[in-house]
């Protein structure tokens, strides 16, 4: 390690070694700052996705650190990459821990839950150190196996750790509303007239990678129109190819957002139905398709007027927090009417 950063060579200066070391740590802190600033809203709206993705990133950083003895001349590069990944993971861990702990706090005992979480982490860290010490003592006469042991155990314990994190996140029941959770609730309500509880939504809530989010067909998006995008003249075909866009006006309340998403989910389900597909395929007339489209809009408006009250009441009964809906930066975009 010291040879890689320049110590030990007569032509090297101590200041150069210190500069390399500062560069390694400085890149990690800078990346942590950029990562936190760019994903600040995602820590709430996509908490489980971000937590699991950065857990994989932390596992990757440990694997990179294991490679530093194999490539000592590239120590600074590998250590910098590992430190960047670790700093990003640490930022995510500190940002997402309070809401996760709050979900387990029964009577405002958040400090107690946080303390017990730290105790669990320390206990497992000590168990890992004990296991490593025992294995080193058992294999002290076999240097070759002792050297290769970390590369054998690393993928096994990493897979166990990620599986435990995944299952643990499945048991985190968050009562705050986000667009994704609200879609699950409304989808269940439209299909069966039933509002799932936070525990039931946790089972259906996706915990996948951040980059795989939003690739599903005919998705619902909250935001604003892109003036540079070329939209088709036929709005139905545009939605079937690009999804449904829900625009929220300035000053909209939480109830307005729920009503808008309820109507969007109703329209989305109708567009996915076999009846609508057969109607669009059987007719080549744009006028007929538009007529069916406007009829669908009228049906969705009547459905929202009839179902919003019972839906809102059932959500309160099931324990959902209706005071606010957590939206990311793009979803918080509002529009307003301007005079000509």
How far separated are the first and last CA of the chain, in Å rounded? Answer: 67
Residue 66 within a domain: yes
Higher pLDDT, 106 or 211: 106
The domain in which residue 232 lies consists of 176-334
The pLDDT of 206-226, averaged and rounded, is: 65
pLDDT at 340: 45
Helix (H) or strand (E) holding 146: helix 143-170
CB atoms within 10 A of CB 311: 20
Q: Is 324 helix (H, G, I), strand (E, B) or coil?
A: strand
The pLDDT of 222-245, averaged and rounded, is: 60
Tell me the residue length of the chain: 340
Number of domains in the chain: 2
Give yes or no for residue 284 having a pLDDT over 80.
no
The pLDDT of 48-53, averaged and rounded, is: 88
pLDDT at 1: 47
Same domain assignment for residues 197 and 281: yes
pLDDT at 280: 59
Same domain assignment for residues 226 and 284: yes
Residue 135 within a domain: no
pLDDT at 5: 47
The answer to whether 92 touches 43, Cβ cutoff 8 Å, is: yes
The pLDDT of 306-313, averaged and rounded, is: 93
Residue 128 within a domain: no
pLDDT at 142: 82
Quickly list H helices, 177-329.
Answer: 179-192, 198-204, 235-242, 254-272, 274-282, 286-317
Same domain assignment for residues 161 and 191: no
Write out pLDDT tens, residues 326-337. 888 777 777 665
For 137, the token pair is 């003592």
The pLDDT of 23-48, averaged and rounded, is: 77
Residue 259 within a domain: yes
Same domain assignment for residues 183 and 156: no
Same domain assignment for residues 191 and 303: yes
Residue 208 within a domain: yes
Q: What percent of the chain has pLDDT over 90?
A: 17
- DSSP annotation of 2 reads T
The pLDDT of 143-172, averaged and rounded, is: 86
For CA atoms 66, 72, 76, 77, give the dihedral sign: negative
CB atoms within 10 A of CB 139: 15
Same domain assignment for residues 189 and 205: yes
C-alpha–C-alpha distance, residues 151 and 133, integer Å: 16
Same domain assignment for residues 156 and 188: no
Same domain assignment for residues 267 and 208: yes
C-alpha–C-alpha distance, residues 255 and 253, integer Å: 5
Q: Is 337 helix (H, G, I), strand (E, B) or coil?
A: coil
Same domain assignment for residues 301 and 252: yes
Give yes or no for residue 16 having a pLDDT over 80.
no
Same domain assignment for residues 150 and 13: yes
pLDDT band at 48 (very low <50, low <70, confident <90, very high): confident
Residue 136 within a domain: no
- DSSP annotation of 216 reads S
Residue 131 within a domain: no
Residue 95 within a domain: yes
Write out pLDDT tens, residues 251-277. 888 899 999 999 999 988 887 776 666
Output the CA–CA distances (angstroms, integers) from residue 13 to 5, 8, 24, 26, 147, in the order listed: 10, 9, 17, 20, 32
pLDDT at 27: 76
Note if the pTM is more than 0.95: no
Give yes or no for residue 241 having a pLDDT over 50.
yes
Over the chain, what is the mean pLDDT?
Answer: 79
Closest CA to 295 of 271, 262, 272: 271
């Amino acid at each position: 390690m010291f040879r890689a950063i320049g110590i030990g060579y007569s032509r090297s200066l101590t200041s150069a070694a210190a500069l390399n070391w500062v560069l390694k740590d400085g890149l990690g802190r800078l990346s942590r700052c950029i990562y936190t600033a760019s994903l600040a809203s995602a820590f709430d709206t996509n908490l489980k996705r971000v937590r699991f993705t950065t857990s994989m990133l932390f596992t990757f950083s440990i694997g990179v650190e294991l490679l530093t003895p194999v490539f000592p001349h590239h120590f600074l590069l590998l250590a910098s990459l590992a430190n960047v990944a670790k700093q990003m993971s640490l930022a995510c861990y500190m940002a997402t821990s309070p809401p996760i702990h709050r979900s387990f706090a029964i009577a405002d005992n958040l400090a107690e839950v946080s303390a017990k979480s730290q105790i669990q982490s320390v206990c497992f860290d000590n168990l890992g150190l004990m296991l490593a010490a025992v294995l080193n003592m058992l294999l002290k006469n076999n240097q070759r196996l002792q050297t290769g042991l970390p590369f054998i155990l690393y993928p096994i314990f990493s897979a166990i750790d990620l599986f435990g994190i995944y299952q643990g996140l499945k048991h985190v029941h968050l009562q705050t509303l986000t667009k994704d959770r609200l879609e699950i609730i409304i989808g269940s309500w439209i299909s069966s007239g039933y509002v799932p509880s936070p525990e039931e939504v946790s089972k259906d809530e996706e915990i996948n990678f951040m980059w795989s989010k939003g690739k599903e067909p005919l998705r619902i998006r909250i935001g604003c129109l892109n003036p540079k995008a070329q939209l088709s003249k036929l709005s139905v075909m545009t939605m079937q190819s690009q999804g449904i866009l829900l625009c929220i006006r300035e000053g909209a309340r939480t109830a307005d957002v729920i009503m808008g998403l309820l109507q969007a989910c109703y329209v989305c389900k109708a567009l996915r139905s076999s009846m609508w597909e057969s109607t669009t395929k059987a007719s080549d007339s744009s006028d007929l398709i538009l007529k069916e489209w406007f009829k669908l809009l009228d049906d969705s408006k009547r459905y929202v007027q009839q179902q919003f009250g019972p839906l809102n009441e059932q959500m309160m009964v099931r324990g959902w927090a209706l005071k606010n809906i957590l939206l990311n930066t793009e979803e918080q975009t509002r529009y307003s009417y301007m005079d000509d």
